[in-house]
Chains A and B, each alone.
Chain A
Amino acid sequence: MKIDHSQPLEYSTHQNQLNILGFWIFLGAEIMLFGTLFMGYFTLEGRTGAGPTPAQIFEITPVLIETFVLLTSSFTIGLGIHAMRLGRKNAMLSFFAITLLLGLVFLGVEIYEFMHYYHVGATYQTSAFTAALLTTLGTHGAHVTLGLFWGLFIILQVKKRGLTPQTANKSFIFSLYWHFLDVVWIFIFSFIYLKGMM
């Protein structure tokens, strides 16, 4: 394995560069995935049948908490990658751990939010609107859940193996994924919640 020391660790081998480019292309596919979900949501949001409308079920408090927590986690993982570039393993691990904790809080609040919808009569089967809403939020939530496990695995590997070209590469790619989930959330916040509450 040829290591190019003029590059940051995560870019230092040819395979690492392939991995990062491949992941960017994957994110392109993810944009299409969420784009399709948004198109479905926009088409169906007014089609509430006998069920509630967006304005009747959305609550601002949990959504604000989720937004605040997830945006902060995007910042902390950025700090984690910065620490990784400086070669400070423990700082990086701490920032990654904080990121995952914030992700966990996000997920907890989202589960609370889903239970709230259930109690006010907006279940998965109620109407086209609720199905589109819960599928869009649920797909994002499933991505966060997967990310929690993935991030945990990476923390364990960095802890055990140190900062090598491989672990640095994995950590960097994970950070791309996490930032992407944050970007998706900004769209969800703006075009699902704010639009629905107006």
Chain B
Amino acid sequence: MEFFERFAIPHPSPAIYASMVAIALVTIGIIAGLTYFKKWGYLWREWLTTVDHKKIGIMYLISALLMLFRGGVDAIMMRAQLSVPDAELLDAQHYNEIFTTHGVVMIIFMAMPFIFAFMNLLVPLQIGARDVAFPRLNALSFWLFFAGAMLFNISFVIGGSPDAGWTSYFPLAGNDFSQHVGTNYYMIAIQISGIGSLMTGINMCTTILKMRAPGMTLMKMPMFTWSAFIANLIIVFAFPVLTVALLMGTTDRLFATNFFTSDNGGMDMLWANFFWIWGHPEVYILILPAFGLYSEIIPTFSRRNLYGYKPMVWSMVLISFLSFLVWTHHFFTMGQGALTNSIFSITTMAIAVPTGVKIFNWLFTMYKGKIRFTVPMLYSVAFIPLFTVGGVTGVMLAMSAADYQYHNTMFLVAHFHNTIIPGVVFAMLAGLTYYWPKFFGFMLNEKIGKWAFWSLTIGFVLAFFPMYITGLDGQARRMYTYSEATGFGPLNMVSFIGAAIMAIGFVLILWNVFYSFKNSSREIGSDPWDARSLEWATHTPIPEYNFARLPHVNSSEAFWDAKMNGHQLFRGEYEEIHMPSSSGVPFIMGMIFFVAGFSFVFSLWIPAVIALLGIFFCMALRSFEKDDGYHISVEEIKETERKLGGAK
């Protein structure tokens, strides 16, 4: 029995026991359903072994939505606990675990897969390619993300969740102050999915540099592809820093080394520095693809080309460069002295300049345009003022002297949610609505979509703007309760109501998917929004080879030119198409990584070593494998094109 005691929850509660039952029931339900409907073969052939970038993108999308709801439940629990003074819904330990998992889930397991979903779905189509450079590696990236996400999510029912904050600062995250295995989960689950992210970064950079359609020079790439390229470059240079930091944190916890401890020479601030050298570029990894999506949506619904293409590109390059030079602003109060703080204040404020350039370019794109207020456009229009408020409060926080007032208060919490929600989440929802017809063959209902949009926007303002005030009044973040005498009560109640309205908005989005699946027309053609770039030039549903003939490109809006100016995208004869073959190895490797990670979390060395050997065995297998893919013949292409309604 002693062996099994390590898996027990250190702070059990009825809610956790209920979750255990729910997880067990859902798992049994899924297995029973798949067996009853005889879908195991379909699942394995079409999804688990796929290397098709479109299907991998859809799997990222589903995972991101699931994680959005997991993180959202955490958020609602926190807001409920704080809605009245001296509430007893959650105890301190529980609250610590929830704000930690909320942060990690939302950043690493919701926002990251969401942007990877769009990169996978869109980049090959936008550059007129048939897949990414390394399709098999792409599948492995997904399964590593998935293994990491699952490992992190089982923490709250097996062994206990991490409770040291999503930043996991040492010495708090060290063995002395975080004794149960929660922080092991943090270190190892993020490590596994981080390796997947790094491989996606390499894959996408190679794809964008080497696989563009004839005529598409770098300065003729669609803006989303540019933003994906820059974000992936940042991934390649930022994620190895996290890899090392997590490795050191893991050895500190599992092997009692002294990197970040308080004695034997350890230095806790080294963690904070490493974490934010990765962490600040990370927020630009998230926001740049979001900017890219807005840059696709705004021109489409303004019926004007993007204002200032070149400044848009240069501002992203500048942002990516500056993103590596600002990390210290996350801990101005932690003792590096006035000179260092001043330098980092200035670099931080400098980021507002290229970001401002982008804001004005979007405004000028809309100026004198024929604007259609569809759901994606509503999100984009709401994004501009709301994000600007988040940016301005960011500049306030960047002033290191004033930061002593704001640091670790709800003001900061309001600021970063004010950039991430209207910036990233709105972009993802706009992109979801905008690209839904391309990938699923039907439109989402506009009316329900607008209800969801208004719920989210009003809910957002109600939930987060009061925090600016309570933060300035001194309400600290991460405090699980406060007394009535502080006077924070009413504004926190407003926040809770706002959070509840947002929750309704997210439920409406789910309802919209269900409702539209039932009721929407399937006769929408391949270009329902009258859009401008190459992803809309191919059929809906998209054939597995994307383009029967590779498109010829003459501008950054080649499809618009084809529609308006008679530019001929597809020319020449059909040729045999070479495609990569499916493989189960990435999925199996993901599962082995999961086992390895779980074993490391609980210091089970024998299974850990066996699992690591399994990983190396899979790599060796790949080295010896002879896999030339397969070919689609000209007849098959013609047949497919005919079925899809006309040759392209």
User: Which residues of A approach B to under 8 Å, CB–CB?
Assistant: 1, 14, 17-19, 21-22, 25-26, 28-30, 32-33, 35-37, 40, 43-44, 47-51, 124-129, 131-132, 135, 149-150, 153-154, 156-157, 170
A155 to chain B, nearest CB (A): 11
B471 to chain A, nearest CB (A): 33
Known: A36-B241, A125-B256. A149 touches B274 (CB 8 A): no
Q: Does B251 contact A (CB under 8 A)?
A: yes
List, sorted by A's number, 14 A–B pairs whose CB atoms are closer than 8 Å.
A14-B210, A25-B236, A26-B202, A32-B237, A36-B240, A36-B244, A40-B244, A43-B270, A128-B266, A131-B258, A135-B251, A154-B623, A157-B623, A170-B623
Contact call B265/A129, Cβ cutoff below 8 A:
yes
Chain B contacts for A51, CB-based, 8 A: 264-265
Q: Does B455 contact A (CB under 8 A)?
A: no
Contact call B267/A44, Cβ cutoff below 8 A:
yes
B266 to chain A, nearest CB (A): 5
Contact call B243/A33, Cβ cutoff below 8 A:
yes
Known: A32-B237, A128-B266. A22 touches B259 (CB 8 A): no
B512 to chain A, nearest CB (A): 39
Chain B contacts for A32, CB-based, 8 A: 236-238, 240-241
Q: Does B203 contact A (CB under 8 A)?
A: yes
Partner of A25, one of B205, B245, B255: B205
Give the residue name and chain of the B residue nearest to A146 (CB): B616
B596 to chain A, nearest CB (A): 15
Partner of B202, one of A29, A43, A132, A149: A29
Partner of B240, one of A33, A49, A131: A33
Known: A30-B240, A33-B244. A49 touches B258 (CB 8 A): yes
Since A29-B240, A153-B623 are in contact, a sample of 19 more A-B pairs with Cβ atoms closer than 8 Å, ordered by chain A residue number, is A14-B210, A18-B133, A18-B211, A22-B205, A22-B206, A25-B205, A29-B239, A36-B277, A40-B274, A47-B265, A47-B267, A124-B251, A128-B258, A128-B264, A131-B258, A135-B247, A149-B616, A153-B624, A157-B623
Chain A contacts for B205, CB-based, 8 A: 22, 25
- Rounded to whole angstroms, the CA-CA distance of A127 and B259 in the bound complex is 8
B618 to chain A, nearest CB (A): 13
Known: A21-B206, A40-B248, A40-B274. A1 touches B578 (CB 8 A): yes
Contact call A25/B202, Cβ cutoff below 8 A:
yes
B171 to chain A, nearest CB (A): 13
Contact call B265/A135, Cβ cutoff below 8 A:
no
Contact call B248/A48, Cβ cutoff below 8 A:
no
A141 to chain B, nearest CB (A): 14
Q: 0/1 per residue, B204-217, Cβ < 8 Å to A?
A: 01100111000000
A interface, over-half SS: helix
B632 to chain A, nearest CB (A): 15
Q: Does B309 contact A (CB under 8 A)?
A: no
Give the residue name and chain of the A residue nearest to B133 (CB): A18
Contact call A125/B206, Cβ cutoff below 8 A:
no
Chain B contacts for A29, CB-based, 8 A: 198, 201-202, 236-237, 239-240
B306 to chain A, nearest CB (A): 28
- Rounded to whole angstroms, the CA-CA distance of A128 and B198 in the bound complex is 28
Give the residue name and chain of the B residue nearest to A161 (CB): B626
- Rounded to whole angstroms, the CA-CA distance of A35 and B237 in the bound complex is 11
Chain A contacts for B251, CB-based, 8 A: 124, 131, 135
Chain A contacts for B245, CB-based, 8 A: 36
Give the residue name and chain of the B residue nearest to A26 (CB): B202
- Rounded to whole angstroms, the CA-CA distance of A44 and B258 in the bound complex is 10
- Rounded to whole angstroms, the CA-CA distance of A129 and B264 in the bound complex is 9
Contact call B210/A128, Cβ cutoff below 8 A:
no
A139 to chain B, nearest CB (A): 8
Partner of B258, one of A28, A30, A127, A149: A127
A192 to chain B, nearest CB (A): 16
Chain A contacts for B2, CB-based, 8 A: none
- Rounded to whole angstroms, the CA-CA distance of A137 and B635 in the bound complex is 57
Contact call B265/A49, Cβ cutoff below 8 A:
yes
Q: Does B257 contact A (CB under 8 A)?
A: yes
- Rounded to whole angstroms, the CA-CA distance of A40 and B272 in the bound complex is 12
Chain A contacts for B261, CB-based, 8 A: 128
Partner of A124, one of B209, B247, B255: B255
Q: Does B573 contact A (CB under 8 A)?
A: no
Chain B contacts for A37, CB-based, 8 A: 244
Contact call B210/A125, Cβ cutoff below 8 A:
no
B201, B238, B245, B623 — most chain A CB neighbours (10 Å): B623
Contact call A50/B264, Cβ cutoff below 8 A:
yes
Chain A contacts for B243, CB-based, 8 A: 33, 36
Contact call B134/A22, Cβ cutoff below 8 A:
yes
Chain B contacts for A127, CB-based, 8 A: 258, 264-265
A7 to chain B, nearest CB (A): 14
Give the residue name and chain of the B residue nearest to A160 (CB): B624
Give the residue name and chain of the A residue nearest to B243 (CB): A33
Contact call A22/B237, Cβ cutoff below 8 A:
no
Contact call B264/A126, Cβ cutoff below 8 A:
yes
Chain B contacts for A150, CB-based, 8 A: 623
- Rounded to whole angstroms, the CA-CA distance of A26 and B181 in the bound complex is 32
- Rounded to whole angstroms, the CA-CA distance of A22 and B135 in the bound complex is 13
Known: A1-B578, A124-B255, A149-B620. A40 touches B270 (CB 8 A): yes
Contact call B264/A22, Cβ cutoff below 8 A:
no
Chain A contacts for B133, CB-based, 8 A: 18, 22
Chain B contacts for A154, CB-based, 8 A: 623
Chain B contacts for A35, CB-based, 8 A: 240
- Rounded to whole angstroms, the CA-CA distance of A29 and B201 in the bound complex is 10
Chain B contacts for A17, CB-based, 8 A: 210
Contact call A128/B259, Cβ cutoff below 8 A:
yes
223-258 of chain B: CB within 8 A of chain A: 236-241, 243-245, 247-248, 251, 255-258
- Rounded to whole angstroms, the CA-CA distance of A153 and B617 in the bound complex is 12
